[in-house]
Structure 1
């Protein structure tokens, strides 16, 4: 097993070196326990910001036992310093038996992955639309609860509120892509393209997402109290409207 089946020249030099080192260490640590290593998330979608974004991945192994986890854990400190986030570790059987409860997550893996080591057909597992819709409604309504609780906890602190909004924003893109999939569209990967497609499909004003996209790329994002409050209100109303659409019109 080697990385020749997926060259890393599409990555910038620094993350490419980090991925190559992690790949080699992973193969040495797991040997024939390793089925596949695939990169996921922003490093694949085109939204990766060097020095800000983590390098996310999924590792598929033959057996998910403690010995395998221990071998993986030993890689964490050294490669974490290079921007490698702790991988999602799965088996093929775990994927097959979890499609009904995690359809959004597996849709994301299907849409945005690049195999680095080994092989796995991410397009093969079937995702049920009814399960996807149910999880999407649940996730959107859970975000409304988290936004309400976070607003109360922020107690008027604009920076705590900004942190809440940014944290909520980063988790929205899998939901928007699931929404587009349910609308019969092929979801784009880049965040700006996902926002544009979801805005058109939903008919909602996504001004809050556009503002948060700009903030997410700042190394030290700051908002005045009035700005943070207005942005909270906009994000809350947009989330509520989207959840209502999923509940009433996609059921």
Structure 2
């Protein structure tokens, strides 16, 4: 058992995806239409049908997939796929822009994300970030250490927001203040003094992003 864990843990991303493909072939057989990889660890499987038994079979293998440093694959029935693009334009827009076909047909052939759907999704993302940032600031009760935690914990979501806005525009739409916060996405701690300095331009940058997205037209 220890040897199995060791092997899975140190498997390369490409080998891990191939192992996932074999597992999904075992579970779905000919019903597996496509397996898509995106990023280093993420996958999407499109299948003819998806049952509770299929999900149970996947659940039994989930620990091995995670040991191989893969996230749980997204599973979609073929009849759900096109409507999923409309419902999740940000997520599927990101997959569309950077993916590879592991097996089967290309489910994205001839498909695109509607710019209007993408704009609405980015607006929701931006406004939500602004509201949570304001709420979080009030809840710091003026404590600079709490403010530092707020900034560090919100930085990854802000970096994702910047990526979404860039995808909408096709170009970067932010400045030095926004870049300074996005650079904290992989940082675990900043000082209270630094937080006091960073927060005002951070808040202003988010407000400007909301205004920008609100008035954006394709």
Q: Normalising to structure 2: TM-score of the pair?
A: 0.80
Which deviates further from its counterpart, 66-75 or 169-178? 169-178
Which of 208, 218, 225 is the equivalent residue of 2:178? 208
Q: What is the aligned partner in structure 1 of residue 195 from structure 2?
A: 228
Offset of residue 84 of structure 1? 0.7
In the alignment, the residues of structure 2 paired with residue 71 and residue 65 of structure 1 have an alpha-carbon distance, to the nearest angstrom, of 10
Offset of residue 237 of structure 1? 1.8
Q: What is the aligned partner in structure 1 of residue 61 from structure 2?
A: 75
Which of 13, 16, 34 is the equivalent residue of 2:14? 16
Offset of residue 120 of structure 1? 2.2
- Matched ranges for 1:1-251 at <5 A: 14-41=12-39, 43=40, 55-154=41-140, 156=143, 157-158=146-147, 160-180=149-169, 185=170, 197-198=171-172, 202=173, 204-213=174-183, 215-217=184-186, 221-250=188-217
SS in 2 for 1:100: helix
Structure 1 residues 101 and 25: CA distance shift in structure 2, 3 A: closer
Offset of residue 133 of structure 1? 1.7
In the alignment, the residues of structure 2 paired with residue 15 and residue 113 of structure 1 have an alpha-carbon distance, to the nearest angstrom, of 14
Q: CA offsets, 1:163-208, max 9 Å, x none?
A: 422332353255124322xxxx4xxxxxxxxxxx31xxx3x41443
Q: Greater CA radius of gyration, 1 or 2?
A: 2
In the alignment, the residues of structure 2 paired with residue 63 and residue 142 of structure 1 have an alpha-carbon distance, to the nearest angstrom, of 35
Q: CA contact under 8 A between 2:177 and 2:205: conserved in structure 1?
A: no
Offset of residue 113 of structure 1? 0.9
Offset of residue 130 of structure 1? 2.0
Root-mean-square deviation (Å): 2.6
In the alignment, the residues of structure 2 paired with residue 126 and residue 16 of structure 1 have an alpha-carbon distance, to the nearest angstrom, of 27
In the alignment, the residues of structure 2 paired with residue 229 and residue 210 of structure 1 have an alpha-carbon distance, to the nearest angstrom, of 14
Q: CA contact under 8 A between 2:181 and 2:202: conserved in structure 1?
A: no
In the alignment, the residues of structure 1 paired with residue 135 and residue 124 of structure 2 have an alpha-carbon distance, to the nearest angstrom, of 17
The number of equivalent residue pairs is: 206
SS in 1 for 2:70: coil
**Structure 2 regions of 5+ residues with no counterpart?**
1-9
Offset of residue 210 of structure 1? 4.4
**Structure 1 regions of 5+ residues with no counterpart?**
1-11, 44-54, 186-196
Offset of residue 223 of structure 1? 0.5
SS in 2 for 1:85: coil
Q: CA contact under 8 A between 1:37 and 1:116: conserved in structure 2?
A: yes
